[in-house]
Amino acid sequence: MEIFKTQKELKKHLSSLPDKTIGFVPTMGALHRGHLSLLIRAKVECELVICSIFVNPTQFNDKKDFENYPILIDEDIKQLKSIGCDILYLPENVEDVYLNERDLNVDLGILDKVMEGINRPGHFNGVMRVVKLLFDIVSPTKAYFGLKDYQQYLIIKTMTQQLNLTIEVIGCDIIREADGLAMSSRNLLLTFQQRQVATTLIKTLQYCKDHINEAPIEALERRCLAMMTQYGEPEYFVIRRADNLEKVTPDYTGEVRAFVVCKIGKVRLIDNLQVR
């Protein structure tokens, strides 16, 4: 695996290669099996696989959250080598990533105004900024994103379509621990006891799926939120259309997903599940 610490060096290297299909997985490090599953899929579908590790400050609303984000570069590099990643972009500083930034003009509709858009103002603007810059640096054929951050996936896909980028944005299934907890770098911050409590996220989502046709949507949302309140500090539990995150109307027959965000101790966890 080759490691590049500046976009200039990476671009020079890529320009020297014959045309290949490039699979790209942008990450913030602290890699787990969820990240590796994206890279393995990219390895199967593309000729060259590139991963980036960059903890992007513009998408953190809480400075302490940014400062406490786990950094495990040496272990990350070992894992990337173990699954055959070809290239790692590991920028030395923020300035290298933001070197050629230009204004973005993207109409997201309600996508950045609901759920995480309410609770984390400016977060998705930061995500779009850095992903567009990374796309410009890497010029991938396909980009892979985990569906745990489903709202982010929809926003990146919408941005790519509106800017007419020739990149296929692929959403990949959530990888879970044996107890059902969605894999996340933030899980490293949980104590053993908190980890047990955190499994209530998937249990509540599964309860929602089992009862989706038995009660009005808003009543089921309230019931699931009350269930979460027994164990942590839930910020929301909502059931939305999977295509645009709008509320589910009685006549809607498409895919429906439930979304939950809950604080367990000081750790903010998110999860979602297709419920219909």
Residues recognised as catalytic: 35
CA dihedral 36, 40, 46, 50 (to 10 degrees): 20
What DSSP letter does each residue of 144-183 carry, written as one string?
Answer: EEEGGGHHHHHHHHHHHHHTT---EEEEEPPPB-TTSPBP
CA distance between the termini of the chain: 42
Q: In what order do the strands lie in the sheet with 267-274?
A: 233-241, 256-264, 267-274
218 in the Ramachandran plot: left (φ > 0), alpha (ψ -120 to 50) or beta? Answer: alpha
What is the C-alpha to C-alpha distance for residues 22 and 15, in angstroms, rounded to an integer?
A: 12
DSSP 8-state assignment for residue 251: T
Angstrom distances, CA of residue 260 to CA of 41, 109, 164, 181, 228: 27, 21, 32, 13, 9
